[in-house]
Amino acid sequence: MSIVVMKFGGTSVADSEMIRSAARRAVQARQRGHKVVAVVSAMGNTTDRLIDLAGQITRRPSRREMDQLLSTGEQVTIALMAMAIEDMGVPSVSFTAGQIRIITDDVHGQAKIRRINAHSIVRELDAGRIVIVAGFQGVTETGEVTTLGRGGSNLTLVAVAAAIDAKFCENYTDVDGVYTADPRLVPGARKIDRITYDEMMELSSQGASVLHNRAVGFAKKHNVPIHVRSSLHNRRGTMIVSETEEMERIVVNAVALKKHLAGISLKNVPDRPGMAATVFHALAAAKIVVDDIIQTETTPKLATISFTVDLSALPAVRKLCRKMCRQIKGVTAEFEKDLAKVSVVGLGMRVHTGVAERMFAALASGGINIRDITTSEIKISCIIKRAEGAKALRLVHDAFELGRKKKPAAKTTKKKKTAKKKKTKKKTAAKKK
């Protein structure tokens, strides 16, 4: 009996009807002979509402109390989901992270999973129950409640699948699969059938919120394929898998947009060993995640260090940088809070040339100025103004012809129509033969 782990995101369990529908899927998988674990998110936009609620109480809630609050969202869904399954006549049991020991470090709001006690899940599966697990939450060695970062239920999905040796996992969501661009921003985007872990990891880190980048990394490490699919129908979605040779033929597979970035430029930084280390040590100590870093020499003795962070981190970063400016003589700091980043991703970039040129030309055609450029082996990113983000994404998507193939306009002339009729006649004759 193989084990399948499925995850239902917030929109797939948004109300009682959706929860019933998710429950039905879990029951059907069991009827097909699988042992089933379902990881669930908080209902609809519950997490956003809870964050909002905290904001009504205080401007600076502690990270610990935020985790206490946010973890309640998923706890509601697990109980309702287990009830819905039992109501269908199938035994089920729900677990919070504390109950199955999803042990994390103590970084509230961004905790990393260290291990999961698979025994309790396996025991319940062996007893014939469908097991429901709360996504997004963890618990420290000392029993403190943590959360894994926004979108973290994806991580729970993959971590649970790896812990109990599931053959693959299914991520049920509100899109049919992974698209060549966020279909909400690029209506002509096309669904991708298969994509590699590495490409998906880049896409997720560059703003494709459909999967959490750490979840994809975890899946790669444990070689667990992920099937991203719609919770509304049974059609095949996108498989996230290991690389095969032919996958390198596609130069650019998809584009992504990171919408909320802030840029920081530290100017007149003495160009000597240890300066960058000093700057980034301070940021790391404050647990600030830095996006891209660029250092340029302005005079033989001075450099500018520019980097980007998520917009939400700007107040903390501003405070730290101002402190640095007071400590290091001559250094000044400039802040921009209106940035975004557009990226193209594809394995084929390793062997094909001309990708950068094509991307820059697409942006230039829309009069979009590039502030900074960063690259990896399979990705090129441009920092631009946020206001131009959606336009940039569409331009680049078009430049690499990633969209759905347009059907030729249905302009059938009289001549063509007769030809068509003849063809049909021929076909029928052939069939008759």
CA distance 433 to 424: 14
The only residue of 24, 123, 167, 184 in contact with ligand ADP, by rule CB under 6 A? 184
- As measured in angstroms, the least distance from the Cβ of 132 to ligand ADP is 16
Q: Tokens in use for 104?
A: 């994390």
Residues from 129 through 188 that contact Mg ion (CB under 5 A): 151
The verdict on 174 binding ligand ADP (CB under 6 A) reads yes
Helix (H, G, I), strand (E, B) or coil at 100: coil
The verdict on 131 binding ligand ASP (CB under 6 A) reads no
CA distance 376 to 206: 12
Q: Which stretch binds ligand ADP (CB under 6 A): 18-26, 206-214, 242-250, 325-333?
A: 206-214
Place of tokens 């005079």: 299
- As measured in angstroms, the least distance from the Cβ of 219 to ligand ASP is 15
- As measured in angstroms, the least distance from the Cβ of 268 to Mg ion is 42
Reduced DSSP (H G I as helix, E B as strand, rest coil) percent helix, strand, coil of the chain, to 5: 40, 25, 30
The verdict on 44 binding Mg ion (CB under 5 A) reads no
Residue span 116-155 as binding mask against ligand ADP, x where in contact by CB under 6 A, dash where not: -----------------------------------x----
Q: Tokens in use for 14?
A: 């948004």
Residue span 2-41 as binding mask against ligand ASP, x where in contact by CB under 6 A, dash where not: -------xx------------------------------x
What is the chain's Cα-based Rg?
25
Residue number, 210 or 396, with CB nearest to ligand ADP: 210
Residues from 4 through 33 that contact Mg ion (CB under 5 A): 9
Close Cβ partners of 364 (under 8 Å, ≥ 6 residues apart): none
Q: How many CB atoms lie within 10 A of CB 41?
A: 28
- As measured in angstroms, the least distance from the Cβ of 309 to Mg ion is 21
Q: Tokens in use for 153?
A: 């239920």
- As measured in angstroms, the least distance from the Cβ of 116 to ligand ASP is 17
Residues from 9 through 48 that contact ligand ADP (CB under 6 A): 9-12, 41
- As measured in angstroms, the least distance from the Cβ of 394 to ligand ADP is 13
Q: Which stretch binds ligand ADP (CB under 6 A): 29-37, 162-170, 208-216, 291-299?
A: 208-216
Q: Tokens in use for 417?
A: 């129509």
Number of residues that bind ligand ASP (CB under 6 A): 12
CA distance 422 to 419: 5
Q: Where are the alpha helices (DSSP H) in 127-256?
A: 153-163, 197-205, 213-222
Q: Tokens in use for 425?
A: 């006649």
- Taking alpha carbons only, the member of 381, 355, 379, 378 closest to residue 370 is 381
Which residues share a beta bridge with 3? 35
Determine contact, residues 258/207, Cβ cutoff 8 Å: yes
The only residue of 254, 283, 383, 396 in contact with ligand ADP, by rule CB under 6 A? 254
**How far lies 165's CA from each of 151, 169, 293, in Å?**
23, 10, 38
Residue span 134-153 as binding mask against ligand ASP, x where in contact by CB under 6 A, dash where not: -xx-------------xxxx
The verdict on 421 binding ligand ADP (CB under 6 A) reads no
The only residue of 208, 247, 303, 313 in contact with ligand ADP, by rule CB under 6 A? 208
Residue number, 132 or 362, with CB nearest to ligand ASP: 132
Q: How many CB atoms lie within 10 A of CB 44?
A: 18
Residues at the site binding ligand ADP, with contacts judged by CB under 6 A: 9-12, 41, 151, 173-175, 178-179, 181-184, 208-210, 254
Residues at the site binding Mg ion, with contacts judged by CB under 5 A: 9, 151
